[in-house]
Amino acid sequence: MTKLMTVGDVADYLSVPKSWVYDNWKRQTIPFRKVGQSLRCRPADLEKWFDRQN
Does residue 16 lie within any of the structural domains? yes
Instruction: Write out pLDDT tens, residues 2-48.
Output: 899 999 999 999 999 999 999 988 888 899 999 999 999 999 999 99
Q: What is the pTM of this model?
A: 0.87
User: Do 21 and 32 meet the contact criterion of CB atoms below 8 Å apart?
Assistant: no
Largest pairwise CA distance in the chain: 32
pLDDT score recorded for residue 27? 85
Q: What is the 8-class DSSP label of residue 23?
A: H
pLDDT score recorded for residue 2? 81
Does residue 2 lie within any of the structural domains? no
Number of domains in the chain: 1
The whole domain housing 32 covers 7-52
Tell me the one-letter amino acid at 16: V
Q: Is the pLDDT of residue 1 over 80?
A: no
Does residue 18 lie within any of the structural domains? yes
Residues 26, 28, 31, 33, Cα dihedral to 10° = -10
